[in-house]
Amino acid sequence: MSLLDEIKAKASARNKTIVLCEGEDKRVIEAAAQITKEKIAKIVLIGNQSECKKIAPEVDLAGVTLIDPLTSDKTAGYAKLLYEARKVKGMTEEQAEEQAKDRTMFGALMLKAGDVDGYVSGACHSTANTLRPGLQVVKTAPGINTVSSCFIMIAPQKHEYNPDGVAVFADCAINIEPTAEQLADIAVTSAKTAKAIAGIEPRVAMLSFSTKGSGNDDKFTQTVPKVQKAVELAKAAAPELALDGEFQFDAAVAPAVGQLKAPGSKVAGHANVFVFPNINAGNIGYKIAQRFGGYMAIGPVCQGFAKPLNDLSRGCSVEDIVATVAVTALQAE
Ligand SMILES: CC(C)(COP(=O)(O)OP(=O)(O)OC[C@H]1O[C@@H](n2cnc3c(N)ncnc32)[C@H](O)[C@@H]1OP(=O)(O)O)[C@@H](O)C(=O)NCCC(=O)NCCS
C-alpha cells in the first residue's frame, strides 16, 4: 500500500468532519463527492445547491452537507465569535458581521467553534487569504508561536541515505526568514507531523551550510548562529526529541560524513526530518528532490495551528484536494 493510500485508510477510520470552503470551484465540488463516496471524511461544503448544480451538474452531492453563510442560522453566532477574537485588534461588531459571511472566514469560524475538525481551502484563493482567517481566529497550538508548513517527501525507492523511504522537509512555503525561535517551533511541529502523517519516528536535522561550527558565516546574515540557537531552543522545548545540528545535508544523511563531522551525534547521518534555515533553501531544496530525485511531494502540510487548517495550491487537482483532506483528518485531535 502506498503512503498516500495508508493516509486515506487511516483518515477513513477516524471519520472526521472537514470543511471545504470553496463551493464555487468545480474541483472542490468533485472532491467533496469523491471523499464522501470513499468515506475518507465527512464533508461540509461552503456553497449552495443551485450554485453547485450550475458549476458541476453531473456531480452527486448526496451525503455532503452544504452550508451557505449568506443564509445559515450559524452566521450570527460565528460573527459574535469573530468579534470576541478580534475586538482587541479594533474590529467592530458590524465588521465582524460582514466578515463572518466570507466563505474562508466562515470555515475558520466553524473550526474555531468546534463544528468541524479541520479546514481545507486555497483552490481559488492565495496562501495569505487562505491562512489569514486561521491565523486570526484559530491561532497557534499551546506552546507554539509559529504556523509553518512542511512537505512529506516520498522516495521513488528506498536507498541507503533514506531507509524509511520518506522524509519531511520544512519550512518550504510560509515563513520567509524565520528567527531562531521560529526555527525551533518549525522543528518541534515538523517532528509531530512526521509521526502523525508520515508515520516515521522523527530524527530532526537543523540544516545549514556549516556542520557544528565548520563554516565561516557572513557578518550580515548570521545564519549559522541562528541555526545553532534554534538547536538549543528546540532541545530545551522538546528534550525527548532526537534533534541536532547545525548540519550540512550530507552530514545529516550520510553516516560516514555524519560521524566524521559530528562525532557522537545520534542524529548525524540518520536524519529523516530536515529543517531548512529559510524559505529560499527549503523551497529550492524540495523542488530539487522532486525534479532531480523523483520524490513525490505531499503538501504543503500546515502545522502549528491549534486545530488543523490546510492550504491547497491554486493549480491543484481533485486528487490533491482528496489527499489534503485525508492529511487534515489525521492532524485532527
Ligand atoms: C503566512 C502568511 C500567508 C501570513 O500573511 P498575512 O496575513 O499577510 O500576515 P500578517 O502579517 O498580516 O498577520 C496576520 C496575523 O497572523 C499572524 N501570523 C502571521 N504569520 C504567522 C505565522 N507564521 N505564525 C503564527 N502567526 C502568524 C500575525 O501575527 C497576525 O496576527 P494578529 O492579526 O492577531 O496580530 C505570510 O507569511 C506569507 O505570505 N508567507 C509566504 C507565503 C508564500 O508566498 N509562499 C509561497 C508559496 S510556495
If you measure from the C-alpha of residue 148 to the centroid of ligand 1, how many angstroms do you get, rounded to a whole number? Answer: 10
The CATH fold of domain 148-298: Rossmann fold (3.40.50)
Percent of the chain residues topping a pLDDT of 70: 100
DSSP string covering 31-92: HHHHHHHTTSSEEEEES-HHHHHHH-TT---TTPEEE-TTT-TTHHHHHHHHHHHHGGGT--
- Report whether pLDDT(187) > 90: yes
SS3 state of residue 155: coil
222 or 95: whose pLDDT is higher? Answer: 95
pLDDT for residue 8: 96
**Mutation test residue for ligand 1: of 126, 135, 179, 276, the one with most atoms within 8 Å of CB:** 135
The model carries a pTM of: 0.94
Pairing status of strand 296-303 against strand 148-154: antiparallel
Q: Taking a C-beta distance cutoff of 8 angstroms, is the pair 191, 274 a contact?
A: no
Q: Taking a C-beta distance cutoff of 8 angstroms, is the pair 208, 245 a contact?
A: yes
Residue nearest to atom 33 of ligand 1 (CA): 136
Sequence-distant (≥ 6) Cβ neighbours of residue 262 within 8 angstroms: 211, 212, 244, 247, 251, 268
Would you state the cell numbers that stand for residue 158, as one nine-digit string? Answer: 528506498
10 CB within 6 A, ligand 1:
no
140 CB within 6 A, ligand 1:
yes
pLDDT for residue 134: 97
Residues 46-60, mean pLDDT to the nearest whole number:
95
What does the DSSP 8-state code read for residue 140?
B
* pLDDT one-digit tens code per residue, 109-165: 999 999 999 999 999 999 999 999 999 999 999 999 999 999 999 999 988 999 999
CA distance 291 to 285: 10
pLDDT for residue 226: 95
pLDDT for residue 26: 97
SS3 state of residue 273: strand
Q: Is 79 exposed, middle or buried (0-12, 13-18, 19+ CB in 10 A)?
A: buried
Residue nearest to atom 6 of ligand 1 (CA): 128
pLDDT for residue 166: 96
Minimum-distance ligand 1 atom for the alpha carbon of 132: 7
Tell which residue, 45, 116, 39, has the closest CA to residue 333.
Answer: 116
Taking the CB of residue 208, how many other CB atoms lie within 10 A of it?
30
128 CB within 6 A, ligand 1:
yes
Q: What backbone torsions phi and psi does residue 145 show, to the nearest 5 degrees?
A: -110, 0
If you measure from the C-alpha of residue 135 to the centroid of ligand 1, how many angstroms do you get, rounded to a whole number? Answer: 7
- Report whether pLDDT(1) > 90: no
Instruction: Fill in the amino acid letter for 77.
Output: G
Would you state the cell numbers that stand for residue 10, as one nine-digit string? Answer: 487511516
Residues 91-107, mean pLDDT to the nearest whole number:
97
If you measure from the C-alpha of residue 55 to the centroid of ligand 1, how many angstroms do you get, rounded to a whole number? Answer: 32
pLDDT for residue 266: 94
Pairing status of strand 65-67 against strand 309-311: unpaired
Minimum-distance ligand 1 atom for the alpha carbon of 300: 48
Domains 3-139+305-331 and 148-298 share a fold: yes
Would you state the cell numbers that stand for residue 191, as one nine-digit string? Answer: 517532528
Residues 237-244, mean pLDDT to the nearest whole number:
97
**Mutation test residue for ligand 1: of 112, 145, 174, the one with most atoms within 8 Å of CB:** 174
If you measure from the C-alpha of residue 145 to the centroid of ligand 1, how many angstroms do you get, rounded to a whole number? Answer: 12
Confidence category of residue 170, pLDDT binned at 50, 70, 90? very high
pLDDT for residue 11: 97
* Strand arrangement, sheet containing 242-247: 242-247, 203-207, 273-275, 166-170, 148-154, 296-303
Residue ranges covered by each domain of the chain: 3-139+305-331, 148-298
Q: What is the mean pLDDT of the chain?
A: 96
Q: How far is CA 13 from the centre of its chain?
A: 21
186 CB within 6 A, ligand 1:
no
- Report whether pLDDT(219) > 90: no
Residue nearest to atom 42 of ligand 1 (CA): 174
Q: Taking a C-beta distance cutoff of 8 angstroms, is the pair 197, 169 a contact?
A: no
Where does the chain have alpha helices with state H? Answer: 3-14, 26-37, 49-55, 75-86, 93-99, 103-113, 127-133, 180-193, 223-237, 249-253, 255-261, 279-291, 318-331
CATH architecture of 3-139+305-331: 3-Layer(aba) Sandwich (3.40)
pLDDT for residue 239: 97
Residues 223-229, mean pLDDT to the nearest whole number:
94
pLDDT for residue 159: 87
91 CB within 6 A, ligand 1:
no
Percent of the chain residues topping a pLDDT of 90: 94
CA distance 223 to 158: 32
* pLDDT one-digit tens code per residue, 259-290: 999 999 999 999 999 999 999 999 999 999 99
pLDDT for residue 218: 73
- Report whether pLDDT(217) > 80: no
